[in-house]
Amino acid sequence: MTITTPMILAMLPLLITGATAILVMLSIAIRRQHDLNATLTVIGLNLALFSVPFAHAVGPQLITPLLQMDGHASFFIGLVLFATLACSTLMHAYLKGYNGNREEMYLLLVLSALGAIVLIMSRHLASLFIGLELMSIPVYGLVAYTFRNRRSLEGGIKYLILSAAASAFMLFGMALLYAESGALNFGGLGAQLASAGIISPFALAGFAMILMALAFKLSMAPFHLWTPDVYEGAPAPVGAYLATVSKVAVFAVLLRLFVEVPVAHTGIWVNLLTVLAFLSIALGNLLALNQSNLKRLLGYSSIAHFGYILVAIIAGGALSLEAINMYLLTYVVTTIGAFGVVALTSSPYNGKDADAIFDYRGLFWRRPYLTAVLTVMMLSLAGIPFTAGFIGKFYIAAIGVDAKLWWLLGALVIGSAIGLFYYLRVVVALFMPTPGMRRMEADTFWGVRLGGIMVIAMAVLMFALGVYPEPAIELVQIASVAVFR
């Protein structure tokens, strides 16, 4: 293989993220210093994020048969690096006062982000599996990192065992597809199956197993049972990472698989995806109704949100990719803001996270700016006008109307109404005073202040997307058109 300058430019985000992981590892080996390792992580991720436009500028670039950089990949890589940066900022504030080793958390985070980038650039079943495992294995350690907390350790073990089972299903499905088509790259796989005409039972079983594994990673119903326990047990910044980066990367490769292998979303698969979308919307919203734990509530909410996104995949058409990209962008900004408030009010030094809704009762009287951020994020998740969440849901609804998916649109409307109820429960609790409550003193720890600035910036960005979405729409249009034309 000949390495050219365009190929190196196309690989810049991947190379810089990998170099950051090595640098953080060496720094830990030489000297443990929390602030230093956090700074190295943030600098490396920023450099990787700033390199994305240069990688995109070289145009669609094939990097070996396994990876490809194009508009689709550059958009999702930028989104993943943006979310990882936000999570690392929250992690620094969250680990304040933690009396265990803190530095490895940044190493695991960067390694997982590296796997997410590989997954997004994948156009081959081998790189899909490598990227998925490289992204997932560090997350097992991140979820169980505060292992002195029983729920954290329990969540890590559950996620490890169930994720390993999902990976086994995926490998078996890949083997069946290879036996049937003799190809592993997405384009060759699509061409071979299309030329065969009728898809054989082996190919159907292979696609079903891969879809099951990806549905598990996306916590789609009925593969969602791990979600509430893992979200509750994971440290708050890790919960934010799970809800955003890991899901966005998986959805990015799922989109590429569906587009480059058209037989993967025809006939029986449309019906199967419809069932997954309906169950995810219904169960996600209904199970969130009685939750008194904020992290579990956000976990069930994420199940419903990815059910909404499936509506656009089912609808198909030129506008579906644009709708999906826009929804994911608004979802990432809003979810990081919500989890950011949980992270800034929690610390492993003080025991379990402040994740019960009761813990936020009267938060307005203690931390008014965090109350404002959490309030607007709940309203955005509910899809209230002038928020980013409204723009995302409007896109999905427009796609559904155009495709005449009336049953799914009915589920979306009813699910959104149910969601409004449990989101407003959280908002009401924020302003309910309790006797003797006083406003808290400002925290002098610069990491917490930096985390506060970050969540406020997320709130501002959320409003900007809701009030003036045109720049974001232009961005997602470029990402949607450039690769699949």
pTM of the model: 0.93
Of the listed ranges 171-180, 189-198, 374-383, the least confidently predicted one is: 189-198
CA dihedral 200, 201, 206, 210 (to 10 degrees): 110
More confident residue, 250 or 98: 250
Residue 413 has pLDDT above 90, yes or no: yes
Average pLDDT over residues 198-214: 85
Residue 167 has pLDDT above 90, yes or no: yes
pLDDT of residue 165: 92
Identify the domain containing residue 204 by its residue range: 5-484
Model confidence at 485, in pLDDT bands (50, 70, 90)? very low
Residue 166 has pLDDT above 60, yes or no: yes
pLDDT of residue 269: 78
pLDDT of residue 327: 94
Residue 436 has pLDDT above 80, yes or no: no
Structural domain count of the chain: 1
Model confidence at 133, in pLDDT bands (50, 70, 90)? very high
pLDDT of residue 197: 64
pLDDT of residue 198: 63
Residue 265 has pLDDT above 70, yes or no: no
